[in-house]
Structure 1
């Protein structure tokens, strides 16, 4: 239960490391080598790390293993970028001037991460931050702190200097102390929009940059020409994978009115056949809700949904399973876009189904939300796919797919879904600042009293 004093100690430690000769003398290539070494350490500990994640948040062991298995690739990608982010030589319009830019790290980065994909979401921030030359203090969720501590141990084993990565476990007061600390140079946060707003306000007060990856209420749109077999799978994957506990969940499903009834029948059949159970069992398809408070939130919204729309399946705790946090995959139809279950992030296995008449209407409905994190489009018409993708207000749009991710491809949020970019080569730009240098090449020959 770390608090303000622990955050002070951690930030001071990361500051000492950042300013030390040991860190400052590292070339960009050598920083890349450290990231490569960390990738090797993670690769050697995949079983331990993935089990720690599953035991903490109840997500499928197969899903957590898949995430952890992908992490070495992320660190190696940014290892490769470390010495490729360079300044530019600029052809100045001023005579006698040679100009160029330098890329420099910010310094100490404060990183705050949630409980749903702890190591993955920390990696989105730490890998480019280290590649750019920053040190970091990580405050993981109080629900899932263990894997973060393990990551810090592996960083030491990989050769990172003490203080390059500090981890402070704790509750919201620790996160608040980190985001408001006057000795960090940037903050990177993933979590709910309300908390993200406070983190952003704290960064603004301290005049430091913030990367914020926040909530979502993502639209998953099925057109009548779509391959319905694939689209049903995509709808299920979009909302029930990870028990709906993901910011990119396709929680608003838009069906053309001509396919609504058939699609819902197939969707309900698949949802009711999902195998719920022990997330460590390879046959389990959906695990429990992560913790009591989240379970209560899901139930609250389901109760609201029962008053607003039509419940067609689920809507209750699964009492036939060993454990109290299993919630049945839940689907509502007859949902209007202004209903609370269509506008507010539930973060659970609850799907709102809406209908539309034409392309123009569904684009308007999909964009009619304060969020803009992700979207899905299901169509066999490539022209429509391009048209609709360009008009959707979302940082990521998948066509005939859902929940795909890669270190090569940037993502960010529109509107209240966030600020800044994660993933891809653009992410490293979030952790550097550029300095312009002007060199007068022929001696000052102008009137020294003439200012312009």
Structure 2
């Protein structure tokens, strides 16, 4: 078991103010695998004070972009050497299949560090522009102290979408990991110290909702960067709006995969398995609405069911596993409740259902529904598990209409033999990230959502902009 008795505040491992602890339970065995202190508001006060001191008086915001990029590069080098360790730890604490952890949970955060380390080498802090009466200087300055609040499903990925650009910008950070997955953040803190990150630039306090709200609403925090549910995002947006505090929100999704009639189903299903079922279906970008034409509907249903059934369900540490357990008992109950709702709404279970594959562990049966209409709850609400709904459409225009008929707009895909035509479809779907015959996120391109999927963009130079204030300086003579 991984036991931590301290919090990472001000560059040191310090005793918590309270005596409460957070137990980390294996979703596969239901056994204790780790324990960390449960942070209190008093702990958050210390963390914010340390971040404030480091920003207001420390060297970090006063370094050049290139100097900060050098530290990010050292952190990336450490991450690169030990990414297998990070992948294994995330699989242990939240049940992500080790193949996905090795593919995405560790390598993608590493890629973000490498990207921003490289960007910082040439990023210009001050730009000169001609003005009406004299030269204008446009200066980019760090926004200040950042509260980074991250979820449990891809903990390092989401952490790094905030940490890497914030660090390059010159911000200081208080990171609040989710109670389900605090262990990976401790490992990251060790690497940050080894990389030479100055004291107080990164502070980590794992805690629950009450302490998290204390962090978000604290006047010493200049920006909140949050990833999580849309409901929580609305609450955070209200707090930040009242305080006129900068905020970025990456929230939920209910993404649609449009399968056009010319798509090769055999080749599409392999990539769709990743797009729809990644991380046991616990991904905000998961393509959980599968849109198929009336003329090929039965064929697509059969292909999707076959794809789901081809994914072995089992121990997430086993490299042959395609789908592992859900993160917690409450998540298992939530997903099974949605399966029941789908049945009650009149959708047909093609494969899966309410029979659990194992007696131990928080597993659900990967499920495919047919006969789904887009007004059903299983087609409109984010389930966050391996549950797919196959929805018929009349023609391409109808498919695009259905894809856009959602409160969300985070991701999406189109599957076709004609990639240029696929691009035409992509331009008509109101969503932040889209794929033609694939789905992927790139470190150098913006990621975020339309509508209830959030506010702002992460990754790419756009992600860095979210941690900068822009100052205009005019002068005469």
TM (norm. structure 2) is 0.89
| Structure 1 Cα separation of the partners of residues 114 and 302 of structure 2 | 45
Q: Which residue of 1 aligns with 2:331?
A: 294
Query: Map of 1:174-213 to 2, 5 A cutoff?
Result: 174-213=211-250
Change (3 A) 1:24 1:123: closer
The Cα of 1:367 is off from its aligned counterpart by: 0.5
1:241 is aligned to 2:275 = no
The Cα of 1:295 is off from its aligned counterpart by: 0.5
SS of equivalent to 2:291: strand
| Structure 2 Cα separation of the partners of residues 382 and 51 of structure 1 | 37
2:389 to 343, 352, 355: 352
Change (3 A) 1:9 1:383: same
Q: Which residue of 2 aligns with 1:405?
A: 441
1:89 is aligned to 2:128 = yes
Query: Map of 1:44-443 to 2, 5 A cutoff?
Result: 44-67=81-104, 68-83=106-121, 84-93=123-132, 95=133, 97-308=134-345, 309-319=347-357, 321=358, 323-402=360-439, 404-441=440-477
Aligned residues of 2:253 and 2:409 also touching (Cα < 8 A): yes
Aligned residues of 1:112 and 1:188 also touching (Cα < 8 A): yes
| Structure 1 Cα separation of the partners of residues 68 and 304 of structure 2 | 48
The Cα of 1:272 is off from its aligned counterpart by: 2.0
Change (3 A) 1:301 1:337: same
1:40 is aligned to 2:77 = yes
Q: Which residue of 2 aligns with 1:449?
A: none
* Unaligned segments of structure 2, at least 5 residues: 1-37
* Unaligned segments of structure 1, at least 5 residues: 442-452
Aligned residues of 2:47 and 2:174 also touching (Cα < 8 A): yes
Change (3 A) 1:21 1:118: closer
| Structure 1 Cα separation of the partners of residues 285 and 355 of structure 2 | 24
Aligned residues of 1:100 and 1:437 also touching (Cα < 8 A): yes
Q: Residue deviations 1:78-134, cap 9 Å, x none?
A: 1122251433222212x3x22111100011100000000101110011000000110
Rg larger in structure: 1
SS of equivalent to 1:136: strand
Q: Residue deviations 1:238-290, cap 9 Å, x none?
A: 22221110000101000011111112112212322321111111111111111
1:5 is aligned to 2:42 = yes
The Cα of 1:317 is off from its aligned counterpart by: 4.0
The Cα of 1:232 is off from its aligned counterpart by: 2.2
